[in-house]
Structure 1
């Protein structure tokens, strides 16, 4: 069979020698590599600046997140648990305060006597046997029962109740014309400032609007579940007072 010249030429083309010698091919490749464009110095400077900025932003974000976490966390360790929250509606309650009680000292004391049920059985003194394990300072030393004394702390909520009761009592005394004594003035100044700081510490941010009950009344507030707080305080309290044996004029 005859093969066309064109077909033969195509078959032989694959076996023809390269027009380049080995040395020439290598030299050409190396020349092409050496001619690849180099990155200018500004490229590396810009890359360095961008990486530095990214690292700085990452550090700032980390600090911000850790800072917000610290704000949400307790500033110091405490044996007192986090109590549940509960909604309360603020309403006038004549059992604990009313305008008629200021007319007579006896009426004031009998009304304030009802506050005893708002406080813990040990009047807010909490027994903390392992106090050294927490960052709460040194304890007081008080009776735990008739034979034993131990380390106790006053829970602030009950201290606030005592202070407010004291101020109400001596407001009535001043209203009734009793001369202000220096000790009463000193104690009253302490209680006013203690309650001021307690209000700012609690920072109640619930919003109050117009209601039929009057300014401040009828508004809902999200608060600590006071029943849960009172239960815990009674479970961990110091020696309880025998409230049922106290006279009707006894106050916090």
Structure 2
């Protein structure tokens, strides 16, 4: 009977070498470097519940990857990176900071600027060139010093002096520059001696009202013929009418006369006259225009 071929003994060392060669042939070459930050964008880092087969415990994909893949970050590394990401400012936060800073700058600039009209108030300058003035409560009463007794020239002089205290030097004409005209879109200015100025409505209304009174005195005293044409008087009467309608003072008055009311003793909300007078005086264009020139042509000096 032939002998079976003799088998070569299989040593433990040879088996290990054989297994190492086979394993080495299956391992893919590793990249020179691995950017672990890219794994934060993958679904592998999301902790998704992984049901247990027995139902007695649960695990997560991330936890299994931590156990099986040395290339993935550990649980502590993930937590550290998440804290780092939470500290990273979003572009929206930078935009919000910029918007808040812009609002703060505008508030500071507005506080440093002179008080101008945000929206025109009642009987205000619509251009915003004239500043705002405060209001005050004024009780109307009789002021006979502003009218003459229509019997003597002395009475006319006294009335003139009272009216001169109502209109500041410059007669309400305020100086403006080319920059003012462009910035506030002002109307065409009055040019006098090289200067540019604009008149103010309240001062013109006072001028007109005095003209009406002075012409009335001329007729009452028969001192002289009217100093102005009827066209001028018609203009003044109509201008005062429009100023009164524009103001629309709705102060309520009760009876103080039998069957009627003098409308005196009633409080009214008025602009602060002292503030307006001071501003007009300081902003005047010149001193050549003074109330009491043409208006009091018939009154002896």
Question: TM-score if structure 2 supplies the norm length?
Answer: 0.51
The yes-or-no answer on 1:104 pairing with 2:190 is: no
Distance 2:299 2:219 in 1: 19
Assess if the C-alpha contact under 8 Å between 1:124 and 1:154 holds in 2: yes
> Whose helix fraction is larger, Structure 1's or Structure 2's?
1
Distance 2:120 2:281 in 1: 31
SS in 1 for 2:196: strand
CA separation of 1:166 and 1:183: change in aligned 2, threshold 3 A:
closer
5+ long unaligned stretches in structure 1? 1-68, 144-148
CA offset digits 1:139-171 (Å, max 9, x no partner): 00124xxxxx31101111110111111110100
Which of 189, 192, 209 pairs up with 1:164?
A: 209
CA RMSD of aligned residues (A): 3.6
The yes-or-no answer on 1:92 pairing with 2:142 is: yes
Distance 2:209 2:274 in 1: 20
Return the offset for 1:206: 1.6
Q: Which of the pair has the greater relative contact order for Cα pairs under 8 Å at 6+ separation?
A: 1
SS in 2 for 1:91: coil
The yes-or-no answer on 1:238 pairing with 2:285 is: yes
Return the offset for 1:207: 1.6
5+ long unaligned stretches in structure 2? 1-118
Please, which moves more after superposition, 110-119 or 185-194?
110-119
> Larger Cα Rg: Structure 1 or Structure 2?
2
Assess if the C-alpha contact under 8 Å between 2:189 and 2:196 holds in 1: yes
Q: Please name the residue that 2:252 is paired with.
A: 207
Question: TM-score if structure 1 supplies the norm length?
Answer: 0.60
CA offset digits 1:156-200 (Å, max 9, x no partner): 111011111111010011123468659431111110001001111
Q: Please name the residue that 1:81 is paired with.
A: 131
